[in-house]
Amino acid sequence: MAIKGKVTFDIEMCKGCELCVDACPQKSVRLSPKLNAQGYHYAVQIQDNCTGCTNCALVCPDAVITVYRENRKKDRVPVARISGVTENITVTIDEPAAGKPAGAV
């Protein structure tokens, strides 16, 4: 069964750098032809083939992307949310413990 994902963007904070567009292996993301309040074309999800890989969120310099994956019950759970970045950070993604869904503590 293929993993289903979805991404959301804080369109008012996006500066249209296109790093997420280049990082998406599914080509699910592109820049909108519309402008945000800052005057930038912002990123949007254009296809329903996102796998929730988190590549887009990991390369976003402004941390404006949240990635969701559907679990087997079709609930969407956030798997990547990076915010409040003020300096260099290191990101690791842990595999979920046996019997626990991704994101469970």
Q: Residue 16 and residue 11: Cα distance in Å, rounded?
A: 9
* Class of the domain covering 5-81: alpha beta
Confidence check: pLDDT of 66 > 80? yes
Asked if 68 and 14 touch (Cβ cutoff 8 Å), the reply is no
Confidence check: pLDDT of 100 > 70? no
Q: How far apart are the first and last CA of the chain?
A: 25
Can you tell me the mean pLDDT for 70-98?
Answer: 68
For 55, which DSSP code? H
